[in-house]
Each structure stands twice: as structure tokens, then as C-alpha cells.
Amino acid sequence: MNAAPIAITPGEPAGIGPDIVVQLACERPADEWVAVADPGLLTRRAERLGIALDIQSVDPDAPLPPARQGALRVLPVPLRRTETPGRLDTANAEYVLDTLRVATDGCLRGEFAALVTGPVHKGVINDAGVPFSGHTEFLAERCGGAHPVMLLAAGSLRVALVTTHLPLAQISAAITAERLNRVLHILDADLRVRFGIAHPRILVCGLNPHAGEGGHLGREEIETIAPTLEALRSRGMRLVGPLPADTLFTPRHLEHADAVLVMYHDQGLPVLKYAGFGRAVNITLGLPIVRTSVDHGTALDLACSGRAETGSLAAAIELALELRRRNAGP
């Protein structure tokens, strides 16, 4: 029996998401994935880029047809208004969310084996009157209120986050023993189950410079982080830290690490993206579905230019396929 395909949502229609989807479908066989998008959008984008690609609309109520050479199967979700490349339009904010709803629900029903997401523009969705802090939080709510953990991977470097899209002023209060416990349990479990790592070794950053300098630069490490790690170590988790972020990301520390847990978005992701931008992958842990994503934004200025690179999308698809294979069982 053939495995279920992967669903791909191109993201913001005015950005490079549609570009990289049609470019990648032209570069390699698209027999294991289906785009969830407006077929007209992808047709127009292929034409503007001079790509000969047959956009094959599929009937959501019929069995998925086999992939054809030179074709991209598309599960239709209509745009609210015809896109203008490079120009955001609040009218299409709901379209972007519709593609995510359709693809996520298909994953939950087992029609898709995984979800790969293209870049969205959070600002235009919020400007349309829809509170939206990011894919991670939206998918968690759609999946029934799961607690998501954001993990980015570039080669052997994996960086997970305790907090995601929060203002800096709110981060300290958000780092509680309860949150750390939950995030570390999810990270440890998914490294074992999804990535096949029998005994994950996780390096944990402190929050403050020099991990608090013994309390002189902040007490979060002493009062919250270190006691939580010690309690989890006593239950068998392999945790190292809290470590200063400025020395943690060095070969000596990373050599035997399976993942790094940082306290906030910009503590670890600049390092990860410097190490692997254009080939890094965003993975959401803690969900009942497999979800990977590109590591870049909408790049409105590159839409229809032909200069958008497909490397991160290709890596996200490959990882989704790998996770599908690993979690399919014997």
C-alpha cells in the first residue's frame, strides 16, 4: 500500500512561497507531495517564471490521482482576491489560514502523512484582524490545544526553544518550572520517537549573560532553570546546563549534543541560521502530526524574480519524508 503523500502549503501568495513550490516541482518529481493552494495562483506563478508545469487540480472528495511527469497535484483552496506579487493584501489573510486548516485537518485524518509549510507574513494576517503569532501556535490550536515546541535543524545542529514569539520584556516571566518541564519532556520524547535517538543528550542555555554569573546577572538560573534540570536529571534525562549561550555554541560543547534548548527565539536561531541558512528546517514537536517548514520569510522583493532559492523547502520535504518513513513502523 502506498504511503500517504505530504501536504505543502505555499504560504503568503504575494511572496516567494508559490515560486519555490513550482520551481521545486519542476526540478524534481513531485510524486510524494500535494500542494494545498489556489491552482490559478500556482499557474500564474509558473507562467511568470517561465516554468513549464502542468497544474493538476484534484477533487477533495475523490481518491488522489497518481502523479504525472511534469505535473503538480493541487488540492484547491480559492484565493479571496487575485494576488499581486510583492504586494501584501489583507483580503488574502484568510486564504493563507484556509490552506493551513485544510492541510492540517487532512493530516489529522490520515490523508496526508506530514505537513510542510511555506513562509507566511504574520503582520498582514494580524492587520486583517486575525490574531496570529505564527504557524507553531496556530497548528497547536488546530490540533486540539497541543503544547508545541519549535525545533530548527541544520545538519547535525538542532536548536529548540522554550519560548517562541514573545517580546523580550515578557520572556523572564514565561520561563517557569512548569514550562521547562513540559518543553523538555516533549523535546526528549520526540528526539527518541521521531528522530530515533535512544538516549538524547540536550544542552540547555541559561537565560542571562554568563548564565547569571552566580546570581549577579540574574537569578532565573538559580531559582528556576537549574533546579528543574536537576529534577529531570534524577529521572534519567541527559541534560547539561544551564550553560552560557556565548560559549555553548562551540565545537567542544556541540560535539556530543543531540539538541540545544535555548530560552528565547533570538538566543539560538541567529546561530542556527548562520550555520545553515537556506538549508535549515523548522520542525514543530509536540503535535500529533509531522510538520516541517522552511527557515526563511516571504521575501516579497524576490517574488517572481526567479532568484528565490528552493534549498530550504527541499530540505523540509526530505526531512518530512524521512520522519514519515521512520514513524511508519515495520
Residue 49 CB neighbours (<10 A): 18
pLDDT < 50 stretches in the chain: 1, 330
| 157 and 99 within one domain | no
| 274 and 323 within one domain | no
Residue 233 domain boundaries: 148-278
What residues are designated binding site for substrate? 135-136, 273, 282, 291
| 169 and 250 within one domain | yes
Q: 222 and 215 in contact (C-beta within 8 Å)?
A: yes
| 220 and 126 within one domain | no
| Distance between CA atoms of residues 223 and 233, nearest Å | 17
pLDDT of residue 1: 38
Phi, psi of 80 (to 5 degrees): -80, -30
**C-alpha dihedral, 204 to 208 to 212 to 213, nearest 10°:** 110
DSSP three-state, residue 92: helix
pLDDT of residue 159: 97
pLDDT of residue 330: 41
- In CATH, what number is assigned to the domain containing residue 214? 3.40.718.10
What residues are designated binding site for a divalent metal cation? 165, 210, 265
| 186 and 319 within one domain | no
pLDDT for 73-107, tens place per residue? 999 999 999 999 999 999 999 999 999 999 999 99
| 193 and 122 within one domain | no
pLDDT of residue 12: 98
DSSP three-state, residue 127: helix
| Distance between CA atoms of residues 220 and 178, nearest Å | 14
| 130 and 13 within one domain | yes
Beta bridge partners of 157: 154
pLDDT of residue 2: 64
| 304 and 183 within one domain | no
What residues are designated binding site? 135-136, 165, 210, 265, 273, 282, 291
| 133 and 17 within one domain | yes
| 237 and 302 within one domain | no
| 113 and 182 within one domain | no
| Distance between CA atoms of residues 42 and 251, nearest Å | 43
Count of domains forming the chain: 2
| 234 and 206 within one domain | yes
pLDDT of residue 57: 94
